[in-house]
């Protein structure tokens, strides 16, 4: 199947969306389909395949059949295939970005950047192909002892809805370069770009080496996790689903599971900080272009009490400039939330916070009309014991908390179940280092927020996950060490 880009975009509802399974573009069994919604309108956008457990089994079987051949392919050839996929992606940045804007509601300018990032990361892993090295170890005299890094076989790659195309593209590169075959499962809410990548990439990758399965509920992902041929699962999503996956994995075999989960990330502001930079950092860190739907969002601003009133006022002025609107409209800096249910959840979190004594500074009321919009919202007077202080809202809501001493800042910043990112604003060099060390988080910025630097490991501690991505650790994480001892006679 091949359709011109324009046809896909002009009317996604008329496009014949298909799974990529065993190298073939195919409907789900019985042509089962489900509706994908446009969050900017609430209307239906497309009907996509609803893969059953049987569809998943057939896809994994084909991926397993292809695994030995792919593992035996020269690593430079595997890297060349990944580079080719990145080239194809580059040729379709506009199309993939538009699909993400359509089914995710994210502003188009942001999705163009997101997809550009995916190509860069794919090439980074391709460039690292020759770093898949073992070691020689002088373990005994006269004999030869060495290790190799070998792939797992079939990797299940399950991703969240908030960077559909970027995750769909960039997170398949490391497992492929490492010699695994990959079955990608996009979010049920935002499957279009991954399905389109399946169409675009099908002719550039051997049959079964890369597959895409979409599905409406837990069945598709659960079947993938439980399939006996799937020994390596890499998941990006919520802590609740992460735990469900760990359970399902444990019930179905001994499996290697990495988890990139949620965050309730602190941005700590000391009295010597540059407040202009803090305000910009807080807005950048909150990822309003994703309506706050980002794991790394700095949703807790933890400020020294002497600065709190000034900072809250400056943040309010800045948040009032966030332009909420449809993802394709000029000047829009924040789109809708992903679904009506999620918007209602965000609104409920804010109501609970107000009931518990927080003060609403701005935002807080969802506009009437179509689309799942919720405004940039600022809560002041949040105390560590309130539910809003420890729960990932995954919406455009910043909570402001205060501290008096450095130790109190550390205790409050670390006093949540999550540990994904942290930001510290200070001009004091010693304090910057002390605080950065003290933060129980996987990724720390000083005088900055949010930016992912290419090659730097990203991932969380505590409920935020296990494993590291975007880095050499990700590439090596798709291998197992195999040990050889050669006795010389
Ligand atoms: P989610 O957990 O609801 O869904 C994630 C994926 O899991 C989707 O593809 C979904 O269809 C699938 N899924 C759902 N139930 C499943 C099951 N039982 N077995 C297998 N797969 C299943 O998450 P979401 O709402 O799409 O994403 C939001 C969450 O993701 C937030 O918590 C956010 O912080 C987190 N996230 C983390 C990172 C990171 O890098 N740490 C990045 C992005 C998002």
Looking up tokens 């163009």, which residue turns up?
112
- Which two tokens mark 140? 């005994």
Q: Please, how many CA atoms are within 13 Å of residue 135, restricted to the half-sphere of its CB?
A: 5
Q: Which atom of ligand 1 is nearest to the CA of 459?
A: 41
Per DSSP, the three-state class of 391 is: coil
Angle at 153 between CA 150 and CA 156, to 5 degrees: 125
Decide: 338 in ligand 1 pocket, CB within 6 A.
Answer: no
Decide: 52 in ligand 1 pocket, CB within 6 A.
Answer: no
pLDDT of residue 5: 53
| CA 92/CA 30 separation, integer angstroms | 31
- Sheet of 443-446, strands arranged across: 359-362, 377-380, 397-403, 300-304, 266-269, 421-425, 443-446
**Is residue 93 within 8 Å of residue 111, measured between CB atoms?**
no
- Which two tokens mark 345? 């959840």
Percent of the chain predicted with pLDDT > 90: 97
Alpha helical stretches, state H, 358-479: 406-414, 429-438, 472-477
| CA 252/CA 248 separation, integer angstroms | 6
107: phi then psi, degrees, rounded to nearest 5: -55, 140
Q: Which atom of ligand 1 is nearest to the CA of 188?
A: 11
Residue 149, strand partner residues: 481
| CA 292/CA 322 separation, integer angstroms | 12
Q: Which atom of ligand 1 is nearest to the CA of 342?
A: 25
| CA 36/CA 184 separation, integer angstroms | 18
Element (H, E) at 464: none
pLDDT of residue 11: 84
Decide: 222 in ligand 1 pocket, CB within 6 A.
Answer: yes
Active site residues per annotation: 260, 295
- Which two tokens mark 193? 């770009």
Percent of the chain predicted with pLDDT > 70: 99
**Is residue 212 within 8 Å of residue 198, measured between CB atoms?**
yes
Decide: 449 in ligand 1 pocket, CB within 6 A.
Answer: no
pLDDT of residue 7: 61
| CA 342/CA 295 separation, integer angstroms | 15
Residue with CA nearest ligand 1 atom 19:
222
Start-to-end CA span in the chain (Å): 59
pLDDT over 80 at 254, yes or no = yes
pLDDT of residue 474: 98
| CA 334/CA 45 separation, integer angstroms | 20
Task: Give the tens place of pLDDT for each residue, 279-303.
Answer: 999 999 999 999 999 999 999 999 9
pLDDT of residue 9: 77
- Separation in Å, CA 58 to CA 62, 67, 427: 6, 14, 57
| CA 19/CA 211 separation, integer angstroms | 8
Give the model's confidence band at 352: pLDDT under 50 very low, under 70 low, under 90 confident, else very high.
Answer: very high
Task: Give the tens place of pLDDT for each residue, 335-351.
Answer: 999 999 999 999 999 99
């Amino acid at each position: 199947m091949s359709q011109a880009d324009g046809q896909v975009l002009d009317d996604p509802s008329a496009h014949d969306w298909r799974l990529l399974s065993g190298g073939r573009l195919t409907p789900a069994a019985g042509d089962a389909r489900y509706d994908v919604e446009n969050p900017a309108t609430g209307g239906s956008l497309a009907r996509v395949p609803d893969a059953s457990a049987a569809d998943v089994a057939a896809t994994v079987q084909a991926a397993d059949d292809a695994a030995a051949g792919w593992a035996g392919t020269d690593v430079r050839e595997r890297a060349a295939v990944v580079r080719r996929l990145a080239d194809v992606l580059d040729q379709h940045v506009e199309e993939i970005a538009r699909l993400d804007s359509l089914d995710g509601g994210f502003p188009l300018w942001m999705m163009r950047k997101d997809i550009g990032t995916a190509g860069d990361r794919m090439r980074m892993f391709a460039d690292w192909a020759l770093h898949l090295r073992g070691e020689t170890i002088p373990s005994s005299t006269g004999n030869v002892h060495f290790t190799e890094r070998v792939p797992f076989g079939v990797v299940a790659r399950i991703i969240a809805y908030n960077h559909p195309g970027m995750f769909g593209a960039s997170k398949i590169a490391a497992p492929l370069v490492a010699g695994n075959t990959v079955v990608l499962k996009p979010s049920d809410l935002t499957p279009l770009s991954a399905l389109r990548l399946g169409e675009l990439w099908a002719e550039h990758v051997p049959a079964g080496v890369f597959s895409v399965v979409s599905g409406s509920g837990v069945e598709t992902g659960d079947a993938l996790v439980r399939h006996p041929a799937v020994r390596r699962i890499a998941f990006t999503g919520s802590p609740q689903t992460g735990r469900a996956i760990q359970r399902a994995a444990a019930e179905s075999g001994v499996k290697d599971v990495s988890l990139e989960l949620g965050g309730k990330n602190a941005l700590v502001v000391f009295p010597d900080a540059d407040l202009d930079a803090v305000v910009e950092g807080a807005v950048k860190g909150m990822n309003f272009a994703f309506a706050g739907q980002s794991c790394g969002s700095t949703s807790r601003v933890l400020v020294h009490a002497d600065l709190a009133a000034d900072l809250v006022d400056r943040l309010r002025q800045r948040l009032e400039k966030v332009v909420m609107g449809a993802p394709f409209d000029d000047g829009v800096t924040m789109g809708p939330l992903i679904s009506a249910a999620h918007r209602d959840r965000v609104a409920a979190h804010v109501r609970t916070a107000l009931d518990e004594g927080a003060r609403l500074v701005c935002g807080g009321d969802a506009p009437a009309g179509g689309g799942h919009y919720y405004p940039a919202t600022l809560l002041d007077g949040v105390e560590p014991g309130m539910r809003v202080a420890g729960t990932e809202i995954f919406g455009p809501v910043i909570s402001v908390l205060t501290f008096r001493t450095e130790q109190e800042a550390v205790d409050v910043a670390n006093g949540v179940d999550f540990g994904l990112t942290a930001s510290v604003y200070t001009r004091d060099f010693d304090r910057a280092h002390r605080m950065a060390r003290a933060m129980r988080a996987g990724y720390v910025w000083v005088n900055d927020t949010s930016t992912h630097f290419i090659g730097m490991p990203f991932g969380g501690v505590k409920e935020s996950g296990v494993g590291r991505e975007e880095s050499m650790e990700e590439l090596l994480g798709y291998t197992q060490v195999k040990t050889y001892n050669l006795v010389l006679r």
